[in-house]
Structure 1
């Protein structure tokens, strides 16, 4: 069955289309929409095989609607009914991604021909995406993968993670063409993480979004010495108004055709540009830190995306950064606060280790292998790269002087055995210090209890023994002095149960205050 979505508000056009589609075998209309916004939202959810669009649908121009549908549902074949008999409009629709143009008034043969072409294209594209059909590269070209990183709030490390991952991927996977897009329009700082001389920005590209071409975008990119390409945020904040949702979709669509991997730093604010990038991306990642403020901001971001219909919470990946043992929210607790896909690899708090790389604007200065290994595992888990590389087994060093090697091995074993008693002694001494401090605390409790009992006429010895644990009761001695004060003495327990106590005692004397 070929699922069809129709976008048309003209009742005459709809009546004719229903009649023609009823005669086409296996064609079934799933939805009819009467505005471009409703059509785009419906296509994003239904992912139909064929979309038939009347060019006067509005309010958006037909070419813009076609481009948006192609981004939302890459497997849908689009057919445009050209009622205005406009050659320029038809050409623009074809360039935007339409697979056929039907002139109006329509004929059945014309509709059938264009419908079959769109249906076959849809089947072909669906097979390529699922892997059931091999891509010959002759008709569809490159389809790079877009991954958007968004921060739950500012300062969680989104830019650092996206930038370092882009450089690491290009470095480790030979021949991979990587582009990093800075879409944090208010506070973009990719050029602060890696040194890059900026000539133009994404705002300059967005200004000509209606006539955008691959050459225009390639001319705007900055080629970094690491090998990756950069499309940077505007220097002047007011230029961000040019970066509309439509422009972002066009830019990312053309970047797909030129690069294997496109990483987008989406910033920490839910702007229309960020929402458009999240909508057309293959993967959306939110970076959080294990604290309440970050999780609250994460919840607001998810609610904004869901209200716009761009991405549900279950479709989002969450990367936890700056994890430490002192965190109030544990990793397991974070998993219970969201239905999103929590990435299993956690990034530790690494301010000092990253500081030199940030200050010098050179990620290569970060030489800690665990940091780069963690980024590689995260990339594999979210689909940016292939499975994390398994390190090759380390070859055993050549044996030079067998007897000497055995002697050195034996020496290491002897030294290890010799250290065991010393380590045990240190542990026992630390344990004894703890016991002594604990005995001092309990002796203070016993002295206070004995003083209160003496003041009200009760037995101070019994009160003191009741105030300490059962294991210390027998070692508590209470003496009432001549001036009415009470002295409480407690022996310090030893480390091994059953052994005699140490000769020293802990004693405290408290004055008794007579109650009036």
Structure 2
């Protein structure tokens, strides 16, 4: 079945294309998109075989849309419906990569012949791309692992996490090649944290992204004393306009060929550049703090990515930073607020202990072992520490790795067993407290029942003067489980009722006697 997507906002065009497509064997229209933005995002996500594009669809120009579609999905054929009658526009669409132009009004024979040609080209290209990917994988062995670390909002610590994780990985895994890309174009702080001076920025590389080569991008990197390579943001904000989505894809694609691990500080703003990195990344980690504002910002970011079709929420990792005992939102509550995968190792609040390293512009000044161990565990969970190297072995041999995993599992089992034992030990105490509270409530209720019985007995004795009838009236005023133990006595001008306090429930035995008295009012 050939998957077809129609990009048109004119209902007449949509109706004609729908009617003709039903007569083409093996063709199925899977979606109708009414803007070029939606079309580009949908094609990147679904990768259809053929796109039927109306030349009046906006807001982008037809040639730009064709170029974007073919870039995002090289095996997709684009057929342009030319209703403007513009020869220059038709030529521009063909030069951009369209596989045919359909003249308007539409003729079925013309549509059928060009559709079959487009379908055949798509099938051949899909086969070639599949083979090329397999050959490339065999030749290179693997490609670098790309991970984006983005902040739900400013100030949650995403830059610190990405930077320190890159430093930690470089010094713990011998021979690994790590690149840290600062894609926070509005407020990038990687250079400040690492005291790195930029010569060439990502904006300079983006300017030549159409003719980008490995040597060009390597010349733009800053080699930090820790061993990691840095691609930094420009000093001038005006330069960031060159960092387009297509440029980011081209840059990251080349970095994959040169490095084992690429960590991207994606910033906290949903820009086209950030969205492009999120789209092509192997893993995306969103850093949040355990508060309502951060989770609201997280929700807005996720909705922006999903609307652009770059990444679903279920494909994300959520890392909780600055956890403390005073947090209103705990890990369980945060897990219920997202369908993403919650990273199992939260990072504790270490404001003062991290401040020293940030002020000194040297992460090595942070000497908290728990911080670095936490980053290593997080790296293992998201696959960063599991990335193989190109140039040398890991400091731990392959024989050690299973042992480390077994040790980790043993530790998890030990901690789980400890929690289970503590829980079992607490159960009797919890039950005892609950029973004590229940018995106190039942005792108070028994006093109330005894008072009602005394009032009933006093009334009956005042009317009849018969102690037996007064005893029957008192019994009737009590619950059935307390009637057998009731005694009624007359003390002068008062009637006293004595009964037993039930144990846990009426009729389950007596805990002790209680008595209540009521004054006898003589009838005139």
- TM-score exceeds 0.5: yes
Matches of residues 47-446 of structure 1 in structure 2 within 5 Å? 47-49=47-49, 51=51, 60=60, 64-65=64-65, 68-69=68-69, 77-80=75-78, 93=97, 101=99, 115-122=119-126, 134-137=134-137, 144-173=144-173, 176-209=176-209, 212-386=212-386
Name the CA shift for 1:214/1:136 in 2 (closer, same or farther; >3 Å): closer
Partner residue in 1 for 2:480 = none
Residue deviations 1:472-499 (CA, integer Å, cap 9, x gap): xxxxxxxxxxxxxxxxxxxxxxxxxxxx
Partner residue in 2 for 1:46 = 46
How far off its partner does 1:159 sit? 0.7
Name the CA shift for 1:393/1:78 in 2 (closer, same or farther; >3 Å): closer
How far off its partner does 1:17 sit? 12
Kindly indicate whether the alpha-carbon contact (under 8 Å) linking 1:345 and 1:378 is maintained by their aligned counterparts in 2.
yes
Q: Distance in 1 between matches of 2:15 and 2:142?
A: 36
Q: Distance in 1 between matches of 2:17 and 2:235?
A: 52
Q: Distance in 1 between matches of 2:258 and 2:67?
A: 17
Name the CA shift for 1:304/1:393 in 2 (closer, same or farther; >3 Å): closer
Residue deviations 1:85-139 (CA, integer Å, cap 9, x gap): 999976764xxxxxx956889898886566445325435757998xxxx554479
Kindly indicate whether the alpha-carbon contact (under 8 Å) linking 1:71 and 1:249 is maintained by their aligned counterparts in 2.
no
Instruction: Please report the RMSD computed on the Cα atoms of aligned residues, expressed in angstroms.
Output: 4.5
Q: Distance in 1 between matches of 2:67 and 2:179?
A: 22
How far off its partner does 1:190 sit? 0.3
Please list every run of 5 or more consecutive structure 1 residues that lacks an aligned counterpart in the other structure: 94-99, 395-516
Kindly indicate whether the alpha-carbon contact (under 8 Å) linking 1:50 and 1:122 is maintained by their aligned counterparts in 2.
no
SS for the counterpart of 1:180 is strand
Q: Distance in 1 between matches of 2:77 and 2:307?
A: 29
Partner residue in 2 for 1:412 = none
TM-score (norm. length: structure 2):
0.58
Kindly indicate whether the alpha-carbon contact (under 8 Å) linking 1:180 and 1:231 is maintained by their aligned counterparts in 2.
yes
SS for the counterpart of 2:192 is helix
SS for the counterpart of 2:335 is helix
Aligned residues: 381
Partner residue in 1 for 2:439 = none
Q: Distance in 2 between matches of 1:361 and 1:239?
A: 25
Q: Distance in 2 between matches of 1:353 and 1:300?
A: 31
How far off its partner does 1:161 sit? 0.9
Name the CA shift for 1:294/1:37 in 2 (closer, same or farther; >3 Å): closer
How far off its partner does 1:319 sit? 0.2
Q: Distance in 2 between matches of 1:8 and 1:293?
A: 39
Kindly indicate whether the alpha-carbon contact (under 8 Å) linking 1:177 and 1:259 is maintained by their aligned counterparts in 2.
yes
TM-score (norm. length: structure 1):
0.59
